[in-house]
Amino acid sequence: MVSVDSVSETAFDAKEQISQLRRQVEQLMSERVTPALSDAAQRAEAAARSAAETAREQAEMVSSRVREQPLMAVLIAAATGYLIGRLFR
């Protein structure tokens, strides 16, 4: 038969192990996971800035080409509109 003391001791051991595991998880989170997430967030932010900068440069380039050659821009826009209209008809 199981004594009350052994059940109490087993329960205490289980609580102690759970507490120890909790501390280990918290330590891993603070040492490994949080810095990794921070690094990933910084990289994503840098990539987003780079993509925005590239898009801005491309838009400026297209805008300057349209100013330099307005007739060509109108012809290209008309041809593109015509082709899209033919595709979706």
Confidence of residue 10 (pLDDT cuts 50, 70, 90): confident
50-65 pLDDT tens trace: 999 999 999 999 999 9
Instruction: Say how far apart CA 30 and CA 38 lie, in whole Å.
Output: 11
- The secondary structure of residue 88, as a DSSP letter, is T
Q: What angle do CA 50, 37, 31 make, to 5 degrees?
A: 140
The total number of structural domains in the chain stands at: 1
Confidence of residue 1 (pLDDT cuts 50, 70, 90): low
Per DSSP, the chain holds a count of helices (H) and strands (E) of 3, 0
Q: Domain of 34?
A: 4-87
Greater confidence (89 vs 25) lies with 25
pTM: predicted TM-score of the whole model, two decimal places:
0.52
* Positive or negative: CA dihedral 37, 42, 46, 52: positive
Confidence of residue 8 (pLDDT cuts 50, 70, 90): confident
